[in-house]
Each structure stands twice: as C-alpha cells, then as structure tokens.
Amino acid sequence: MISPGVARFLAGATQQTPFLVIDLDVVEQRYREIRAAMPYAKPYFAVKATPEPAVIRRLVELGACFDVASPGEIDLCLEQGAAPECLSYGNTIKKEADIEYAYKLGVPMFAFDSLREVEKLAQAAPGASVFCRLLAGSADARWPLSDKFGCSTDFAVDLLQKAAKWDLRPYGVSFHVGSQQTNPDRWDASIAAAAKVFGELREIGVELEMVNIGGGYPARYVDDVPPIAEYGDKISAALDRWFGADRPVIVSEPGRSLTADAGVLRAQVVSVRRPFEGGDRWIYVDAGKFGGLAETEGESIIYRVLTSQTGPTKPVVLAGPTCDSLDILYRRTKHELPLALDVGDTVDFLSAGAYTTSYSSVGFNGFPPLPTYCIGDKR
Amino acid sequence: MISPGVARFLAGATQQTPFLVIDLDVVEQRYREIRAAMPYAKPYFAVKATPEPAVIRRLVELGACFDVASPGEIDLCLEQGAAPECLSYGNTIKKEADIEYAYKLGVPMFAFDSLREVEKLAQAAPGASVFCRLLAGSADARWPLSDKFGCSTDFAVDLLQKAAKWDLRPYGVSFHVGSQQTNPDRWDASIAAAAKVFGELREIGVELEMVNIGGGYPARYVDDVPPIAEYGDKISAALDRWFGADRPVIVSEPGRSLTADAGVLRAQVVSVRRPFEGGDRWIYVDAGKFGGLAETEGESIIYRVLTSQTGPTKPVVLAGPTCDSLDILYRRTKHELPLALDVGDTVDFLSAGAYTTSYSSVGFNGFPPLPTYCIGDKR
C-alpha cells in the first residue's frame, strides 16, 4: 500500500513531522486505471481533493481536465498549464464576479442547481454551457453529500428550459453519489433521473448533450472496496439501460480515487497516556484534525496506520496535538498499535493523499499547516 | 452587541468578504470586567482563541499573562512584547524539543497529565514549575472538553510526587470545565478535587501552591448567559469552601470571554435556493465551516446573525460556499432571516472574535483564509 518511491522517501526522511508525501507516479497509474475502466468518460480531476501544483501538472501532461470550485482553483490549474477550455466550474455556489472571472478566462462550463444561479450565469457568462446538478442519494458513501446540492428532476427541467431562453447553452445534468462511495450500483438511479430530464426536455425542443456522473470512486482505506473496473462496468450498463444507443457525452470527476492512495501522512508520537482506572490507552500524534486529518470527523474515513514499532499490540485511542477535544482521530475505531509505541516513534497514515493538506488550518494552536512533498516530478 | 467602532468600520467597509473585524477596546473592556469579577485570579489569555498580534499586544499592555499551546504561540507572544515569565505552556501534549525551546526562552510553567509528559519535562526543563491537569466534567458547556485531557486525583498525586523527586517544582493543578460553560456552579467539584490533591500531597511533604481554574467563561451568542460577576462570586465561594483561609495562587485562562464579543465576521450572500417540493430555503454565504466558522460543527456555537435586509422573515438553512456537505452552518437551528435577503446582501455573525480565524483552512476549495482587521490599535 506504500509505493516503492514513498517507501524510499520515508526511509531517508529527516523532514520535521507532520508532513505529506505524494508519489506522482501513483497518481498517473490511478489516472490510467480509471481511463481504462471508463473509456467512455472524460475525467475532470476534482482539484479540491489535492490542490497541489505538481499533481495538477502531472495530470495536465496526461490530458486530464479539471473540476474547479473557485477562482483560486482556476488560477492553480492555468498556472500548471491546463487549457481554460478543459475546466468545469462545478461549484453550484458562485459569486457573479467569480463567474465573470472564469468566463473571461475561457472556462466554458458551469454548474447550477437554483434559479438564482441561472440568473447569475445568464448575466455574467452569456452563451456558456451550463449543467444542472440533480439531487442524488449518497447511501453507502463514507463521506456523504446531502441536499446541500442538487435539485429535483422537475426543477431541473424548468431551470434548463429557462437557461435556454436566457441564451445559455443547456448542456446537461450532473449528480454526485457521495465521496468514497463503496457501492458501484449507486449510479443507476441517478443515471435514470438524468435520462428522465433529457427526455422531458427533448419533448419541448431542448436537446441536452452531457451527463456528468461526478466522483465518489473510492480510495483504499481500512475497508476493502470494489475494483474501479466494477464501477466502470456498472456505470456503463446503467448508461446502456437508460440511454440506449443515444449515449450522451460523459464527464466524470474523480478526486480521491486518483490521489488518496498516492500519499502517506507521516506523523510522530508526541505523548502516550497509559490507562488509569481501566480507561483507554491514548496515543497523541503531531498530526490532528486541524492539521490535515479533518476527514476523521465522525470517524468517517478510517486510514490504515503503520508505525515504526513492532511486537504485541493493544487497541488505542488516537488523538491530535491541539488543546481541543474535537481533535480526537479515532475512539470508536480502535486501531491496534504496538504496546512498545513510544514518544518519537513514527505513525504513518496511508492513502492520505486526498482531502488532507487543503483542509489543514492556517495555524490552530500555533501549529503550522501540513507541508507536502511530491516525488516523481519530472521537472 | 456590535461596538460603535465595529459599526463604523462595517458601515464604510469596502473590503472583500468574508472578513473578521475585532475591536481592541472591547477586548480591553472584557479584560477589565474579568479582572473586576475575579480579582483573586491572574488571567492567562488562551492565545489559541484569537492568535492575532494586535490582540496580544493590547493584552500585554494591560498586564495579562498568556496560556500557550505551541512554540508558534510562544513566538507570537514574545514578538508582541510579553515577558517569557508571563507564559504558561498549558498544552499537555508537547514534543520534548518544544519543551526545551520554551524552557530556554524562560517560560517557567508547564502542564502535564501523564507519566510520559513528566519524564519529558524532567529531561528538558529541569527545575521548572509544573502542574497536573485533572479530569473535569464539562456538562453544560457548549464546546465540551473530554477525557482527552486530565487524570484522576490519585494519578495526579502520584505524578506530582514523581515530579518532585525528579527535580521539577510541583507547583499545582489545573482543570477545565469546558468552553462556553453556561453554568457557573461547574467549578465547584473541580476545586474540591484540587483541594483533595493539595491535602494528600501535603501529608507526604509536598506543598502545592497554585490552582489553575482554566477558562470556559462564556461569550454572548444566541443564548443568554450569566454575567461574569456571577462566575467570579461562585468560584470564590468554592475556593473558600474547599481551601478556607489557605487559598492558593489562582490562575485563570480566559479566551473566548475576552475576544469573542469583540469581533464580527462579515459575510455575503452568494446564492439563494428557494424551497422546492416543500423543502428548505437555503442561504449560501461566502464564509463557511472551513473559512472560520468551524465552531458551528454540531451546531454547538450558535452565532447571532444580522443581515442588511429587513421585512418579514422565514427560517432558513445557512450554508457555506464549498462543495462539501459538511459545510452547512445551521440546519436544526433555524435562523429567521428576511425573505428579501438576496445575492450580495451582507450577513454578519456577531461575537465571532474567538475560534474563527485560527480554525480557518489554508485554502479548502481554493478559498483563501479569513483575513482579520483590528480596530482601536494605538500603534
């Protein structure tokens, strides 16, 4: 689960912990795997997962496109060589000034899920291709999405019709079945909903062209997940089922699935508290919820953990270094760690390449943000 | 609830939202109030609440001391003119190198709650004053603390005795009854526990001198809270009850209570989603859980919200601007906001001066961290 490159880096690492190391060759490998599993889908990397310049650069070289959430992410992609026409502004919550910024730079494609957002797009991005995000269930996802995003199919038909009237190009629909989605059957219902919107709009003379099937393809944390090929096959079958021979342009937004397994977050044991009065054994490490491990919230994402010690193990509570009780990583989930584990020993969180550095706080408790080292960079 | 200075600042504000504005004169006023309410306690400002240079500077001028959690916070305080002997290293989770760093700079006082931590202190800070953090219940606290910190009284007696043996100065005990503690009676049980530790150590020839009663004094969010004077009186009565005439040196660690009410976080409406199919009305603002409003987690801290609109109101769901479903501020708690509220209108979160900027992410979704403007600075 640790790539040879990362293993070599960590073996010789003298950098102060905590830090993240990302192997760009693993990112490339995952990109090739998802292309092979879903040859019918154009991948737009969800930049928010790992907004690291070297990662973006490698994906540009591989011909990827990019799903961006803000002007900051647009700038990052363009600086790393992405063409503006390869960007999709997938955030449904955009300031009009930000829409205009993107539009003037040549970003061609924008998401919406409300009337207010269509109005802003018509105003600031005339003629742009727009797509409506549909509500989607995210059962079986470890990091679910909710009704914060997306609207009903009826509402979508109405909004896309309005978009057409207001000189936008009603390009398609999108949905997202939740991040770290462990069930490849979850795409079916949303593809059916997409087909319904396509059909209803066709009846009134509006031809949609694109379905954005979102992301959610899983990384390899503690639990086993189906191989990416199974996602590719099942999504393809669902597209056949609901669109038949008339398959639209398919866009996907892999994020976590490309970068998570490429990264290891190296931390160090800062303190150990032995059980008193039958309590837990606590291991405090120098990386915590405010220093990159935000997805441990609710113990949603359960990283594999390796330490520099061996020997008999016991379950522990794992906690971060800040004076905040929320900064407990795992309590219900008892990681079994060596009893010999002590101050100064290393603790590696595997598959930590996504949704870590970018979540890091600017300096909660005076601890600096998590630094990232990328290996395998050809430049 | 908005100071005249902040009102003037906001009336003329052209800065891009979101931002935080802090009135240093309100910080000063709150400092004077807590001094008056607890003349028997030396306040050590919990820097983590608001690690803002101008805030630290003002508190230095007022003669405050500082509770620090890391080398970063130590540097901040010293740079703003605090004397090292005024610092207390209150984090129970410290690297040995960090202890040594603080000790060499002249920081005299360190917390611990485990044997491993006492060993590190003995090694890296010989002769330093050390205090043991006791477990404390934090019922009635809006931001509770847990058994991540603190040990039993028996364990404390044992550890303080060891500290004495290892040439540290066993100075006292500390506890924390939870942040935004709404019940001033909650200190009593912990003061009783502190007295028990004092008594048991006296019997074996170890004289403690100090009780650190922690922080937790509340800010004025949506719910009414008792006045600070009531905390002062009840804590004083508890000290009389358990220590009698032998009252030890008392240290307190106000954080939130000094700075929260001094700040307003100004945001702006980015999008509005009208209810469809009987759903909620959603207001999306440009400040969210990853841009300073982290304490909305679990809807624990409920800020008062003012907008630039008036007229009839309806309950809304308030959400942040990122593509993350966790970035919903209030859902169970329905803020009643004007129906006229629309894109571009301002939304002010009151009493947001504490635990906001420092929690802000480095750039989740490509949004920059929350900037802070301090007013009333004499320099």
Residues contacting residue B35 through CB under 8 Å, at least 6 positions apart: B43
Residue A286 sits in the same domain as residue A358: yes
Number of domains in chain A: 2
Kindly list the distances between the CA atom of residue B142 and the CA atoms of A34, B11, B181, B302, in Å, as whole numbers in the listed order: 45, 32, 6, 9
Contact B146, A328 (CB under 8 A): yes
- Residues spanned by the domain of A282: 261-375
In a domain, A58, yes or no: yes
Residue B6 inside a domain? The answer is no
Window 216-275 of A: residues touching B by CB (8 A cutoff) are 268, 270-274
- Other CB atoms within 10 Å distance of the CB of residue B4: 10
Complex ipTM tops 0.90: yes
Q: Is residue A72 located within the same domain as residue A62?
A: yes
Q: Tell me if B8 is assigned to some domain.
A: no
Asked if residue A297 is part of any domain, the answer here is yes
Q: Where are the alpha helices (DSSP H) in B146-186?
A: 153-165
pLDDT by 10s per residue, chain B, length 379: 799 999 999 999 999 999 999 999 999 999 999 999 999 999 999 999 999 999 999 999 999 999 999 999 999 999 999 999 999 999 999 999 999 999 999 999 999 999 999 999 999 999 999 999 999 887 888 877 778 999 999 999 999 999 999 999 999 999 999 999 999 999 999 999 999 999 999 999 999 999 999 999 999 999 999 999 999 999 999 999 999 999 999 999 999 999 999 999 999 999 999 876 677 899 999 999 999 999 999 999 999 999 999 999 999 999 999 999 899 999 999 899 999 999 999 999 999 999 999 899 999 999 999 999 999 987 6
For A323, the closest of B90, B96, B114 (CB atoms) is B90
- Give the helix/strand (H/E) hosting A29: helix A24-37
DSSP result, B191-259 = HHHHHHHHHHHHHTT----EEE----PPP-SSS----HHHHHHHHHHHHHHHHTT---EEEE---HHHH
Q: How far is A322 from chain B (nearest CA, A)?
A: 7
Among A296, A109, A142, which residue's Cα sits nearest to residue A209?
A109
For residue A49, give how far its alpha carbon lies from the nearest alpha carbon of chain B (Å): 8
Q: CB distance B146–A325 less than 8 Å? A: yes
Dist CA A251 CA A38 (whole Å): 10
**Is the Cβ of B146 closer than 8 Å to some Cβ of chain A?**
yes
A63 in the same domain as A115: yes
Q: Is residue A168 domain-shared with residue A286, that is, in the same domain?
A: no
Q: Dihedral sign for Cα B329, B335, B341, B345, please.
A: negative
Which residue, B226, B260, B294, sits at the end of a domain?
Answer: B260
Give the domain CATH number at A331: 2.40.37.10
The reply to whether A39 falls in a domain is yes
> CATH number, domain at A253?
3.20.20.10
B104 located within any domain: yes
Residues A152 and A298 in one domain: no
Instruction: Indicate whether B219 and B101 sit together in one domain.
Output: yes
State which H helix or E strand residue B96 sits in: helix B96-105
CA distance A306 to A191: 39
Residue A235 lies in a domain: yes
Which of A223, A245, A260 is where one domain is finished?
Answer: A260
In a domain, A20, yes or no: no
Structural contact between residues B88 and B65, judged by C-beta atoms closer than 8 angstroms:
yes
Strand (E) or helix (H) holding A180: strand A179-181
Q: Report the candidate in B33, B9, B214 with the shortest Cα–Cα distance to residue B111.
A: B214
- Indicate whether B326 and B366 sit together in one domain: yes
Residue pairs between chains A and B whose CB atoms are closer than 8 Å? 201
Which amino acid makes up residue B150? G
Residue A213, SS3 per DSSP:
coil
Same domain? A77 vs A172? yes
The rounded distance, in Å, linking the Cα atoms of A181 and A216 is 5
- Please check whether residues B128 and B215 belong to one and the same domain: yes
Same domain membership, residue B300 and residue B350: yes
The answer on A268 and A221 residing in a single domain is: no
Q: Are residues A205 and A299 in the same domain?
A: no
- Residues contacting residue A212 through CB under 8 Å, at least 6 positions apart: A44, A88, A90, A111, A131, A172, A173, A174, A175, A250, A251, A252, A253
Domain stops at, among B237, B260, B283: B260
The kind and range of the H/E element at A78 are helix A71-79
